[in-house]
A and B are shown apart, each in its own frame.
Chain A
Amino acid sequence: QQQVKQSPQSLIVQKGGISIINCAYENTAFDYFPWYQQFPGKGPALLIAIRPDVSEKKEGRFTISFNKSAKQFSLHIMDSQPGDSATYFCAASIRGSQGNLIFGKGTKLSVKP
């Protein structure tokens, strides 16, 4: 029940295309859902996060869509660029426990020029 399932494992997108990564969870006590971006040799960096009281959040080219009834959330990267090539992780945590993140397995995104 503590798992966060992420798909796909890898994704190849053409420059300018839309990258979509999906995550699903079981624990209804989760109330914080961040997405992290990690480049080789670096620690994960927070991209965007959402709470279950909203269905969508947009920051620049990055959008989280959240479906509370289906217990799913997804990251959309619009106008994907080669510089977006990285590994993306979804995560979830229980209220008041954002230091205890449950991560998905990651998606390696490659954006081809």
Chain B
Amino acid sequence: KAGVTQTPRYLIKTRGQQVTLSCSPISGHRSVSWYQQTPGQGLQFLFEYFSETQRNKGNFPGRFSGRQFSNSRSEMNVSTLELGDSALYLCASSLDSLSRGYFGPGTRLTVT
């Protein structure tokens, strides 16, 4: 089985712009979670989707949003980018919320 795919792998944006990141889960997996990883804050949970519904949301401002499509692929969007949004954004897929998660390689976002 192919692993979790995240696109793009690297992205450079300017402050104030918006960005959309994509995650394709492992085939058959219906749950997708997103995490932000920074040197200072570590790995922080953003949100979790299951069957197109947001199940949980972390403590991030409303500029961070996501969605999941009927094929389980997920996107996250960050509007009005700030310098502090520079991070590695990781998604993890699992069969359901009771199963182990498999992480993708991440998207490295740099905001200048």
In the bound complex, residues from chain A placing their C-beta under 8 Å from that of B45 are 100-102
Chain B residues with CB under 8 Å of A44's CB are 43, 90, 103
Determine the distance from Cα of A99 to Cα of B50 in the docked complex, in whole angstroms: 9
**Beyond A43-B4, A44-B90, is A99–B101 a contact (Cβ under 8 Å)?**
yes
Asked if A45 lies at the interface with its beta carbon under 8 angstroms from chain B, I say yes
Nearest chain B CB to A30's CB is how many angstroms away? Answer: 14
Q: Does A61 contact B (CB under 8 A)?
A: no
Q: Complex formed: what's the CA distance from A60 to B101 in Å?
A: 21
Q: Please, how many angstroms separate the alpha-carbon atoms of A104 and B44 in the complex?
A: 10
Size category, A interface? 20 to 34
Give the B interface residue count (CB, 8 A).
Answer: 27
Contact indicator per residue, chain A 42-63, by CB within 8 Å of chain B (1) or not (0) = 1111100100000000000000
Known: A44-B90, A99-B50. A105 touches B42 (CB 8 A): yes
> At the interface, yes or no: B72 with Cβ under 8 Å from chain A?
no
A113 at the B interface (CB under 8 A): no
Encoded as 1 (CB less than 8 Å from any A CB) or 0, chain B from 80 to 112 comes to 000000000010101001111111111000000
Residues of chain A in range 60-104 having any CB-CB distance to chain B below 8 Å: 89, 91, 96-104
Q: A99 contacts B31, CB within 8 Å?
A: yes
Residues of A within 8 A of B56 (CB): 97, 99-100
